[in-house]
Amino acid sequence: MTAIETKDLTYLYSRGTPFEKAAVDGVSVSIEEGDFVGVIGHTGSGKSTFIQHLNGLLRPTSGQVLLYGRDIWEEPKKIREVRFQVGLVFQYPEYQLFEETVERDIAFGPSNMGLSPGEIRDRVREAADFVGLSPDTMQKSPFELSGGQKRRVAIAGVLAMRPRVLILDEPTAGLDPKGRDQIFHEIAQYHGKTGSTILLVSHSMEDVAKYAKHVLVINDARKIAFGTVDEVFSHTGELVEMGLAVPQITKIFAQLRARGFELSPHVYTVEAARRELLRVLGKGGAQDA
C-alpha cells in the first residue's frame, strides 16, 4: 500500500515577482507503507521544502500530496489532522521545547488530539521508552538536560502522536558521534517495532546507507533518482558531480578494486565491508595481498 505520494509537486518562492524561483519542481514519488527512505541532496537543493509539503506545512503551488490515496488539501480545514498522521521532526528540534517539564512537553501533541488523560499518559510513557528517557527525567525541566537528551524529548513529542509517517530532518545534527549513534539506533528500533513509514533527511551518506531501504535524491529542486541504496549509490560519479559524497568505506573499496582486488562494488557500510573482507579472506586471501 502506498503511504505517501507526490504528483508533479511544485512550489514557487516569490511567485509572480522577478525573484520567482522553484524550490520544488515537478517532483513525483511514491513511498510504500513501512518503507525507510533516505532523502539526500546538497544544501539548498529543495529537500527540506519538499518534506514540509508532506504534512501540509507548505501548500503546493501546483501538484498534489496524497496520504494513503487522499489529497491532503482536499479539505483544508482538516489539515491539522494530517499533521497528526505525518509527524515532522525539524532540524535542531530542541529549540521548540517550551513546557515546564519533559512529561508536559511530550504530552503537548497528544493533548491537542482530544485524547483522554489516560491515553495521553500511555503515549507519553511509550514515546519516552522508545527514545530511552528514564522515568526520573520526566519531571525535570527540558532545559536542564544535555543536548542529546533534549533531542530525545523533541523526537518523543512527535512519536507520542503515533504518526503513520515519521519525517526526520537531520535528526542528529550537532550531536557527538555517540549521541548520533544512539539516536539512530532508537529510530531503527522504532521502525522495527511499529512498521511506520520513515523519511530521513541526512547529509551523512553512511547513515543513509546503514538505515534506509530506498534513497530519494533531490538536486536543483528536482527529483534526480529514487531507488534502492544499491541502485542510487552505485552512481558514484553522478552523486559527486551534484556535490554529494558516497560513504567513505565505498571510496576505500573503490581504491582497492583499482589496485586489482576482486571486491564487490556494492559496499556502503562498515558492516558490509566486514562481510566482504571475510568473504575474500575465506577464499585464501585477497589475490596474494
DSSP code per residue over 29-44: EEEETT-EEEEE--TT
Residues 110 and 212 in one domain: yes
For residue 165, what pLDDT is reported?
Answer: 98
Q: Would you state the cell numbers that stand for residue 197, as one nine-digit string? A: 513509514
| Structural domain count, the chain | 2
Distance between CA atoms of residues 65 and 29, nearest Å: 10
Residues 62 and 223: their CA atoms lie apart, in Å, by 16
Residues whose CB is less than 8 angstroms from the CB of residue 149 and which lie 6 or more positions away in sequence, other chains included: 133, 137
Same domain, 44 and 145: yes
Specify the pLDDT at position 61.
97
Q: Is 85 exposed, middle or buried (0-12, 13-18, 19+ CB in 10 A)?
A: middle
Q: What is the Cβ-side half-sphere exposure of residue 240, based on CA atoms within 13 angstroms?
A: 9
Calculate ∠ Cα 210-213-216, nearest 5°.
100
Q: Are 233 and 251 part of one and the same domain?
A: no
**Per-residue pLDDT, 58:** 97
Is the domain of 231 the same as that of 260? no
Q: Do 130 and 268 reside in the same domain of the chain? A: no
pLDDT of residue 137: 94
Do 169 and 261 share a structural domain? no
pLDDT in tens, 61-84: 999 999 999 999 999 999 999 999
pLDDT score, position 283? 67
Which regions of 116-268 does DSSP assign to beta strands (E)? 165-169, 197-201, 214-219, 222-228
3-state helix, strand, coil in the chain (%, to 5): 45, 20, 35
Opening angle at CA 26, ends 20 and 31, nearest 5? 135
Range of the domain at 257: 247-289
Return d(Cα 254, Cα 219) in angstroms, integer.
25
Domain boundary among 200, 216, 238: 238
Whether the per-residue pLDDT at 288 is higher than 80: the answer is no
Residue 289 has pLDDT above 70, yes or no: no
Express each pLDDT in 4-34 by its tens digit. Answer: 999 999 999 999 899 999 999 999 999 999 9
